Structure 1
């Protein structure tokens, strides 16, 4: 079987790089034509401007808001905004208010996520019906054995014993339900946790009488959207929301599920409503006793609606409720002039790297220049695609991360070139020097890039706002740097090593062994001073060559000198005898 030569490996790597670039261009083209994408990345709040929303806490008489509550609310709202795909947002406190600044135009989905800022509650359903039913029939009844429009109104005579007890429904509450207009239910429609609530679902299609809060939304540990799996591991194609409760929530939900499952034949008493901002997000029926704290919500969900509900459940538990005090358009804090300055700084950095590499490595430096250009193309395409698909926005801090990455990327090339030069100084041919130098350089490059990537990840996790933008671009360019070195820089040197210009050690190639001070010419063989060179210069050249020798070379030289001395001593003894 034929072995794979360096040239074949190089061509294969370049083909893979071409596939990556063509794939990125194809994805971006499809996004522009069919997905509302663009050939330019979206800009952050500091460069484009956006929308500012001020949230004011809704406090009862005598109630105060603490710094801890505000900080917790800021954290949750930031998670909501980030989960919607918007990056580079700024969320902070101003007195008792929370200021949310979103880059670009604020869409309805993100606006709803921000404004839905009340505490999440889980309440049992007592009565449920369509808004038109109440208007047509005049009243509805909270009996568990008939629909609300069919049974007569009852008057509670005893105190309720649990959250599903219909004695919660007083005549006043029934009257409130009968006359409720779902189009007028606002986010201020929040009842105390220990009292029932009359409200509608988020779409205004169903209205409810709900019992008191039995599970706090703060006890939801995690929520995610996914496709329901069959017992054989196949997909049903139906979307659902998977919940995970903490220990307290697991116990409370287990107790409630046991009671509601026992009311399975008395719908809607078997339903449990998830209430956010006084409106019902979902009211699924209980299909079993759930004691592991991992219920699954099913319904008429698609991927978008399932993900939106999962995000609301996961990030909906705010310590206090808020109302939107104002919503205004804001201008860019820095603007296009600063972006232009950042781009100019990047170009200057590139030019300085180009000049240095050409001065230090002659025509070999052109490999560095082309490598940086290819890296810039992949980086630009990646950021543009992420702007379309993930809502990523490029801020001035992100631009700074790209500029810093220029030096980190050039550092990889320098490590590799110097390893190749070291091999040439040791007397190897160019083809062997490229392969051997690559093996030595790759370990160093991987270690360096792993450190850079780890620093970027830690900074992204612990930081917020624009600092995350810097960390993101730094981490992205680190990954791209490794791809370029492996799939472009090394293959290019493998191909160049086959050319006469570079393999012959042309002085302009940057790989001239003589100019590099190569002294090693094989095992225990070193370049000898020319006889025409004066003794003083020869001695100076010898000392200079000795400085450039490795430890192994010096040992070999010493052994050779010892052997020569022994031979000389033996010859002298023979002459004396």
Structure 2
């Protein structure tokens, strides 16, 4: 008997250890409140105005919707944050996201130019004339260029993979003035130099440059070389436009390295997938895996074959977004099959994930400019939120009163189950907010309330099965176990349908509806854990007490409440008591 009692006790103890661990993580991270959605806490709103990439013509509704979808994916990359991305006016996209700093959101959605791959012809260190604005998918410029290899290469993720590796530390332009020491130990003043010649005008639209199939063999003109020597970061987009079939003067995101790049060799349209992860086997560093379509695979094989035969830095290709070099990996061999890995250098988890995000969501069918960036306040206000909380408290109080009136002593089980479900749900929301950016909105609160109500329904199903088992002549203790074996199937089916509905809604919906679905799915899983690991073990322990096991009138397990004339076994006990009294 002791072992049977000990089993539910161990289950309850294990559950509370898990819950305590969740709150221990909250204490360690000093995070005690969930992140709130846009309707509760406010956030940032960005208005983007679209134009065609060729600079002329009206914006089609199809292209605008495609761009909206990609930007939605970018914002969702910040986490399940109740973001809202909508179109307006036929040429604008409005992005609203909660709990996101102004600069962070601009980094995610503000860079909307085409994604391009260009061959590196030259690279030099430079001092930016002003602090550049961080770009989307920002990663620090590596001191050693990452390498690129095919997925079958054994050195795919090794920072010391064979082949030349580019360094960002190169000589300064020869035109830079220098100072030499004089006899008195003071630096001699730099000799005056003539101001650099203005750069040559460059085309602002494609169509007059190098054909894509010849772009890998592009060579700079004397004017290109002269202009690059005088070029400094950050890039002036009017003087040095980003045109696909023209060379490009570009900077890295830190503004400390400038690049002379050839025309586009591969468009971002050819990219089909990008993901960040840890290498396998001996390759333990972070890496980014790329996938290209059949056309892109052929182009990539040809380009990497040519680059592999060159010396640094011309064995590198630059990944360019909005005229900024987000990565410039080197190549040591031709890569076939349309699968490649960028690894090595100073790539860490953050930079790998940012680069993968740029590659996945960087390509847009339109070009955008940021028309406005505004911080918005909560749309509901404190009074509405307070009124909602009061209404929820009143509703919960009515549920508790009903439980005590109908279930009597067993109402404690319902209340305790709801309390455990609430505590677990709250901890999960807080930790998910810190981990994946989950933000709680009113729609999410509604999802949580619906699923917590399912916890009460699960007990209703269990209690109904106990009544059926007692009605068939089983004792209370036996009915608790046999009734559970039948009730759990119904509970699992009900929760399974609820979770499947939440999953489908989460996949198909956007905005606040997506947050509702996420919360509903989360709390449905928690309901299963609470019913199996708390409600059932608690009932098992209670019926082993005299108050519940003998069917006390206030226990909720008395004969009248269970719908029988007498509890099975009670007549036998009464007869035994009578016989014992007669013998005395």
TM-score bin (small chain): 0.7 to 0.9
Asked if 1 retains the 8 angstrom alpha-carbon contact of 2:80 and 2:515, the reply is: no
Map of 1:19 onto structure 2: 17
| Contact persistence 1:201–1:281 (CA under 8 A) | yes
Structure 2 residue 293 is matched with structure 1 residue 246: yes
Change (3 A) 1:61 1:499: closer
Q: Secondary structure at the match of 1:422?
A: helix
Q: Which runs of 4+ in 1 moved over 6 A?
A: 158-161, 519-523
CA-to-partner distance for each residue in 1:402-430, whole Å, 9 max, x for gaps? 22223222110100111111111112111
Is the aligned partner of 1:222 residue 2:273?
A: yes
Is residue 329 from structure 1 mapped to residue 322 from structure 2 by the alignment? no
Q: How does 1:433-444 map to 2 (within 5 A)?
A: 433-444=479-490
**1:61, distance to aligned residue in structure 2 (A):** 4.5
The Cα of 1:267 is off from its aligned counterpart by: 2.4
Query: For residues 392 and 223 of structure 1, what CA distance do their matches in structure 2 show?
Result: 23
Measured in 2, the distance between the counterparts of 1:85 and 1:288 equals 37
Cα distance between partner residues in 2 of 1:217 and 1:344: 52
Mapped pair 1:292 → 2:337: yes
**Which of residues 81, 86, 91 in structure 1 aligns to 2:85?**
91
Q: In structure 1, how many angstroms separate the alpha carbons of the residues matched to 2:448 and 2:238?
A: 43
Does 2:56 match 1:62? yes
- With 279-288 and 444-453 compared, the bigger mean Cα shift is at 279-288
* 1:45 corresponding residue in structure 2: 38
Give, in whole Å, the separation in 1 of the partners of 2:474 and 2:480: 9
Which of the residues 513, 524, 537 maps onto 1:478? 524
Counterparts of 1:115-514 in structure 2, within 5 Å, are 115-131=110-126, 136-138=173-175, 162-167=214-219, 169-186=220-237, 190-229=241-280, 233-234=281-282, 236=284, 238-263=285-310, 266-298=311-343, 299-514=345-560
Moved more, 418-427 or 249-258: 249-258
Contact 1:125 1:164 in 2 (8 A): no
TM (norm. structure 2) is: 0.80
Contact preservation (8 Å) 1:86, 1:390 = yes
**Other structure's SS at 2:263 match:** coil
Tell me the alpha carbon deviations over residues 331-371 of structure 1, each in whole angstroms, 9 at most, x when there is no partner: 21112223223322322332232222222211111110111
Q: Taking structure 1 as reference, are residues 239 and 346 closer, same or farther at Cα in structure 2, changes over 3 Å only?
A: same
Unmatched tracts of structure 2, length 5 or more: 128-169, 177-208, 573-584
Task: Return the structure number with greater relative CO, CA threshold 8 A, min gap 6.
Answer: 2
Residues 1:235 and 1:416: Cα distance change in structure 2 (over 3 Å) = farther
**Judging changes above 3 Å, is the alpha-carbon distance between structure 1 residues 166 and 508 closer, same or farther for their aligned structure 2 residues?**
same
**TM-score, normalized by length of structure 1?**
0.81
- Contact 2:558–2:567 (CA under 8 A) maintained in structure 1: no
Contact residue 122 and residue 261 of structure 2 kept, 8 A: yes
- 1:515 deviation in Å? 4.2
Tell me, in whole angstroms, the C-alpha distance in 2 between the residues paired with 1:355 and 1:436: 29
Contact 2:429 2:438 in 1 (8 A): yes
Residue 6 (structure 2) aligns with: 8
Query: Aligned partners of 1:89 and 1:194: how far apart in 2?
Result: 36
CA distance in 2 between partners of 1:212 and 1:272 (Å): 11
Higher helix share: 1
Structure 1 138/455 Cα, relative in aligned 2: closer, same or farther at 3 Å? same
Task: Name the CA shift for 1:432/1:314 in 2 (closer, same or farther; >3 Å).
Answer: same
Change (3 A) 1:187 1:252: farther
Q: Give the whole-Å Cα distance in 2 for the aligned partners of 1:11 and 1:267.
A: 67
Matching of residue 72 in structure 1 with residue 72 in structure 2: no
> Match of 1:300, SS?
coil
Change (3 A) 1:466 1:521: closer
SS at match of 2:216: coil
Could you tell me which residue of structure 2 aligns to residue 549 of structure 1?
Answer: none
The CA deviation string for residues 369-415 of structure 1, in whole angstroms up to 9 with x for no partner, is: 11101111111111111111221111111111122223222110100
